[in-house]
Structure 1
Amino acid sequence: MTDMAHISERVAAFCGTTNIPGYVAGVHHAGGQHIVAHGVANAATGAPMRGDTRFLFGSITKVMTTMLVLRQVELGAVDLDAPVVTYLPEFTLTTPGAAGRILVRHLLTHTSGIDADLFFPAGCGPDALRIYLDGLGRQCGTLFEPGELVSYSNGGMIVAGRMLEVVTGTPYHELLRREVYATAGMTDACTSAEEAILRGTAVGHFADPVTGTVRTTGMFTLPATWAPAGGTPIGTVGDLLALGRAHLAGGGTPAISARSAELMRTVAHDLGTPNVPPVGMGWLVRELGGTTVLTMSGASPGGVAVLAVAPSEGLVFAAYGNDARALSLHDALLSSLLPAAPVALNPTDVALSRYVGTYRSDQLRIEVSVVDGQLEERITYEPADAVQEATFTGFVGGPFVVPPLRYEPVGADLFAPAGLPLGDLDLTSRQYLVSYHGDGPDGPTHRCSGGRMTRRVPSGR
């Protein structure tokens, strides 16, 4: 059985060094299950972090949304290879004809190309996802042709959630409670802050970059318009372990069939670059020490959760830290459970000029230039309106201002932050790498960072 005393010691040491307020982790292995908790769930109140403390699941919800869609596929109500507009005629985008070319499977594999990563329309109640879809059609286009590339897509999962509502005639949250929470044994999970407040619930925190002191978040959840991508579902580490257990031994559980579990863990698209793991349906599919591990992390305002499942090892790992810096502790603990060789990165001589240009996605502009023999990036957030700016800055804990960043080549079309030891870039920290893709007349057509694509546009746009 896993040495939980060792994990508890590592958690206490990490939180003591970083001043992260609280952390909770659980491991299911070889039929046994243990949970450890440390620190406080809320620095303002001093409420302790406990094994049964609730927290926001964040993007781990995407695994559940995928399970809900695949249930409808098994019932014959949805075809993975049908255009989304077959079931959702009102689905449109600003790119002419693009919505009609997006298939249902593209929504689940982050290959739809929908450019909506920073699109946060306000909305609540039973019409929240309809409000999202309406705004999407008026504001957002695409980054690439469906199936061409991978770009982590909140928008794709939200469209999938609205499609589920239309196909089943049932609100998304009700589907989630009935067909995932209940069947997987997620007995403490809920779908709203109103429910969460009735039990001990952790809140996120942000650290001052100068003093290191932490403050509680001023925003608990993202709008309900983001529910299927992870805006609102809440539960415990025990709930996430239950979700993970449903995927052990190849599925075949009340929560998910063996066929659907296989679809989810089968690689659907692999960019072949270390900063973007291969994607299945709902899961990211990593190889750690020769073991296939299904992973998904989930950010929330000032917090971060993780779920990892290694079916061949009978292992599930789940954790939450109420400070985004806990992501590196997630990595360290997962690496201790499933050791893996670090990714091979080597300084490389390349012609930097081919990468110079302007790259864009919705509300984000990146200017790439060559400075002192390195690539320099200047990132600018350009909010569409005051509502979206307030939501995004609440999510990240303040104004989104990024200083100029320098990068050095470490592989074919691959760059690492200048001065950062390459050995430190492992597991989720590989998201700090930047890769370039495509071959246009002026150079690469796309830039990828943090799993998100931006497309090359004429300079100044």
Structure 2
Amino acid sequence: MQEQLQELVDQWRVEANIPGVAVGIVHGDTDIVITSGIESVDTQLPVTDNTMFMIGSTTKVFVATAAMALVDDGLLDLDTPLIEYVPELVLADEDATRTVTMRHLLTHTGGFTGDASLMAGWGEDALGRSVSRLNELRQEYPVGEVFSYSNSGFVLAGHVIAKISGEPFEDFLARRVLEPLELKNSACLPWDVMTHRFALGHYIRDGVPFVSNETGIDRGMLPCGGMWSSVRDQLLWARYSLTGQRPGEGQPLEESTRLLMQTPQRPAARMFEEVGIGWLLTRHGSTQVVRHGGNVSNLQVSEFLTVPEKKFAVTVLTNALGGGIGKRVVDWALANLAELPVPTTLDAVEPAPAVLDAVTGKYQAGSLAMTVAVGDDGGIGVRMGSAQDLGEYEDIVWPPAIPIVFVGDGTGEFAAKADATRVLGRFVIDENGQSGLLEFGGRTAKRV
């Protein structure tokens, strides 16, 4: 099986023009590691099992773990308004300032704009400077009412952790989470990464990968997706996440707290089903999946998925975006190693013309825009990109529109036409028969 997967990863990587890939799998008592390609098209150094990649938003689970360590210490209460810990906190909405809690942040229900550039450089005060700009962000929804994936919320969570602990966020994360689990090839700051082997992010132009001269994120936004880690460290993290197993005596959390983080807290926005504390929860058929993943400005992309009842996990780290290689590896591993049945294809429903009129248009979630349009072939597609009026992410090469098909009653939920085994998103139809909201990519976007 390992030889077969190695051949497939090599093939898929070349097809997608991705320079380097690392795959890690927990399968019972066995760890499987597959590496393919190079860390950088400039250095031509091969990817190893200790090469550090940026894991993007998978960082959020580590941040949530750091917050829960403070809960275990009796220093943080998930439901106490954050203003009691950070008196200088000012959001655009006064009610939100008074009521937002760490539970809201860790479950993506703070309600303020979740996708916005809060870049503040690499200085020691960067995180505080980013948080001081949260008052520039709109309060899109009342606190606690709507799940919408929020990078901004995790920036604030990292700042709260630093304030309560009295340490720089990166130092507390290392001391309370990384070091107890002996994650020796995981770090947050570039000067800590530089002493290790690491992969550089690449962008793809006309099928050719080029090294990016940026990390895609800075210290001011680090808690939402700036951590680096190797595939070996991700396997250690996977075993701890699955069973509490760890290489030494140290542990970041009480066992009950570790399990609580994977317990559903509330429904999420599609493509997710529920949210735990930091973790995103879905199902593969009827089997519970606990997961996260990350994308750093389409330069480095990761997948991280566990199947608790199977004691199974898979992680995929890449230094470019392309070809859906993460999903292909995950699907292959679930079918061939975890031996989970392929989910049943959902029945496609032909939407009425009125439904197409109701859902087509542009939706916005902060600096991200989702465009729903009918293509030349008469089919409908959804494309994520930059919100033009905000000018964010202008240098990113965005993937093309995803052709979709309606499922269920044909009015709200949809799946990808190429893979209709799971619900990809949902249009929320209002009392006037119009789609006012779009759940896509975990965001709850408002129609513009």
Q: What band does the TM-score fall into relative to the shorter chain?
A: 0.7 to 0.9
Distance 1:371 1:19 in 2: 27
* More deviation, 295-304/251-260: 251-260
2:219 corresponds to which residue? 224
Question: 1:158 is matched with which residue: 155, 158, 169?
Answer: 155
Structure 1: unaligned runs, 5 residues or longer: none
Distance 2:321 2:434 in 1: 35
| Counterpart contact for 1:251–1:261, Cα < 8 Å | no
1:187 matched to 2:180? The reply is no
Per-residue deviation, 1:97? 2.1
Distance 2:296 2:307 in 1: 24
Could you list the per-position Cα deviations for residues 36-70 of structure 1 after superposition, in whole angstroms to 9, with x for gaps in the alignment? Answer: 21111111221111111111121111011101111
Distance 2:360 2:254 in 1: 48
Distance 2:312 2:31 in 1: 10
Question: 1:140 is matched with which residue: 125, 137, 140?
Answer: 137
1:117 matched to 2:115? The reply is yes
Query: What code does the residue aligned with 1:162 have?
Result: H
Q: Find the residue that maps to 2:93 and give its secondary structure.
A: coil
Query: What code does the residue aligned with 2:331 have?
Result: A
| Counterpart contact for 2:113–2:137, Cα < 8 Å | yes
1:381 matched to 2:379? The reply is no
* More deviation, 336-345/55-64: 336-345
Distance 1:423 1:16 in 2: 21
Distance 2:371 2:292 in 1: 30
Query: What code does the residue aligned with 1:118 have?
Result: A
Distance 1:362 1:280 in 2: 23
1:199 corresponds to which residue? 196
Q: Find the residue that maps to 1:126 and give its secondary structure.
A: coil
Q: Find the residue that maps to 1:295 and give its secondary structure.
A: strand
Distance 1:359 1:96, change over 3 A: farther
Per-residue deviation, 1:356? 5.5
Distance 1:151 1:334, change over 3 A: farther
Distance 1:345 1:78, change over 3 A: farther
Distance 2:387 2:139 in 1: 18
Question: 1:127 is matched with which residue: 125, 128, 148?
Answer: 125
| Counterpart contact for 2:412–2:429, Cα < 8 Å | no
Query: What code does the residue aligned with 1:452 have?
Result: R
* More deviation, 85-94/433-442: 433-442
Describe how 1:43-442 pairs up with structure 2 within 5 A: 43-137=41-135, 139-208=136-205, 211-231=206-226, 233-249=227-243, 254-271=251-268, 275-301=271-297, 302-325=299-322, 326-336=325-335, 337-338=337-338, 339=340, 340-342=342-344, 344-350=346-352, 351-352=354-355, 353-355=357-359, 359-364=363-368, 381-382=387-388, 384=390, 389=392, 392-394=393-395, 396-397=396-397, 408-412=405-409, 413-414=411-412, 416=414, 422-425=417-420, 433-437=424-428, 439=430
Distance 1:15 1:355, change over 3 A: closer
| Counterpart contact for 2:272–2:442, Cα < 8 Å | yes
Per-residue deviation, 1:256? 2.4
Distance 1:51 1:112, change over 3 A: same
Per-residue deviation, 1:426? 5.0
2:23 corresponds to which residue? 25
Distance 2:234 2:260 in 1: 20
Distance 1:356 1:288 in 2: 29
Distance 1:283 1:243 in 2: 13
Q: Find the residue that maps to 2:315 and give its secondary structure.
A: strand
Per-residue deviation, 1:109? 1.0
Distance 1:343 1:105 in 2: 35
Query: What code does the residue aligned with 2:149 have?
Result: Y
Distance 2:381 2:286 in 1: 36
Per-residue deviation, 1:441? 5.1
Query: What code does the residue aligned with 2:221 have?
Result: W
Distance 1:292 1:7 in 2: 24
Provide the identity percentage: 25
Query: What code does the residue aligned with 2:388 have?
Result: E
| Counterpart contact for 2:272–2:281, Cα < 8 Å | no
Distance 1:56 1:343 in 2: 33
Could you list the per-position Cα deviations for residues 80-132 of structure 1 after superposition, in whole angstroms to 9, with x for gaps in the alignment? Answer: 12222222222222234223232221111112222131323223222111111
| Counterpart contact for 2:361–2:373, Cα < 8 Å | yes
1:455 corresponds to which residue? 446
Per-residue deviation, 1:333? 3.6
| Counterpart contact for 1:342–1:423, Cα < 8 Å | no
Distance 1:280 1:376 in 2: 30
Alignment size in residue pairs: 434
